[in-house]
Amino acid sequence: MAYKLKNGEFKISCRHDGCPFDFKVKIKQNIMGMTEEDVEEEAKKLALDVGRIKHDAIYGTKHKLTNPAIKKVSGVYEAIGQKKRSIQYQSEAVKYKDFKKGDNILNKGDIAKTICEVIKGGAQVDKNKTHLYKPGESFGASALLINQARRADVIASEDHTTIAFYNLKELSKKDPKKAKELYTEAMEDIFDVIDKLEGMVDSLEDQLEKSTLICENRKERIKNLEEDLLNVSQKLQEMGN
């Protein structure tokens, strides 16, 4: 099997003391290799060449690109000549589906039966656009709880997003290792939610305590003011006499 890089982008920075150079290079060339690592190595070489030219054009009179750092910002490795996974590997344990940007992957209210993993592209919870699930990350942990409805819509964040839907019960028969991995990750997700809820309860308790205190203080002040007022009116009466 061979691989190619799609939409590859790398960030090049310079480690020369105080150098602000930080440059993104899009790889437009069609790079292919026998493994993903081969493709990445080739793409990094190319990105570095472009980065070096750019760097030295700006800072070259002071210093050359020094001990450069290269980081992959985006891009996916696609198998060439492989049958579409969505046709090849469908089973009771796992089903693959492709989505366009904005398509619903999960619908709020549906009964949760599967755990999802991003294979390609990305997914986000409709209401919380800050968190993006990237390839290799899973979501939909509520499937671990019986008869639990999906709590939110999850949508594809880009075109050509591929999601794997795992049926944990079936998967544990076929691929116990993968099932365990997903189960562990999902449990972490659930603990995360519990953690957040506990945090919210704590802060609500805090607030309640504070407002009770403020309320007590106000009562005290009103009492004092009433006493003052009483004193003043008594004095006025005395003066009037």
Binding residues vs Zn ion (CB under 5 A)? 14, 16, 19, 21, 59
Closest approach, Cβ 23 to Zn ion, in A, equals 10
Specify the residue, 52 or 160, whose C-beta has the smaller distance to Zn ion. 52
Specify the residue, 65 or 171, whose C-beta has the smaller distance to Zn ion. 65
Torsion sign across C-alpha atoms 143, 149, 152, 153: positive
Strands 69-80 and 94-99, bridge-based pairing? unpaired
Specify the residue, 59 or 137, whose C-beta has the smaller distance to Zn ion. 59
Query: Backbone dihedral region of 121: left (phi > 0), alpha (psi from -120 to 50 degrees) or beta?
Result: left
Please give the Cα distance from 94 to 132 (Å, whole number). Answer: 22
Closest approach, Cβ 53 to Zn ion, in A, equals 13
Closest approach, Cβ 18 to Zn ion, in A, equals 9
Query: Backbone dihedral region of 147: left (phi > 0), alpha (psi from -120 to 50 degrees) or beta?
Result: left
Residues with Cβ within 8 Å of 81's Cβ and at least 6 positions away in sequence, in order, are 1, 2
Closest approach, Cβ 56 to Zn ion, in A, equals 9
> Is the separation of the CB atoms in 183 and 144 below 8 Å?
yes
Closest approach, Cβ 10 to Zn ion, in A, equals 17
Closest approach, Cβ 52 to Zn ion, in A, equals 10
Specify the residue, 63 or 178, whose C-beta has the smaller distance to Zn ion. 63
Specify the residue, 23 or 77, whose C-beta has the smaller distance to Zn ion. 23
Q: SS3 sequence, 63-122?
A: CCCCCCEEEEEEEEEEEECCCCHHHHCCCCCEEEEEECCCCEEECCCCECCCEEEEEECC
Closest approach, Cβ 13 to Zn ion, in A, equals 8
> Is the separation of the CB atoms in 139 and 189 below 8 Å?
yes
Torsion sign across C-alpha atoms 181, 183, 184, 185: positive
Specify the residue, 67 or 130, whose C-beta has the smaller distance to Zn ion. 67
Specify the residue, 57 or 146, whose C-beta has the smaller distance to Zn ion. 57
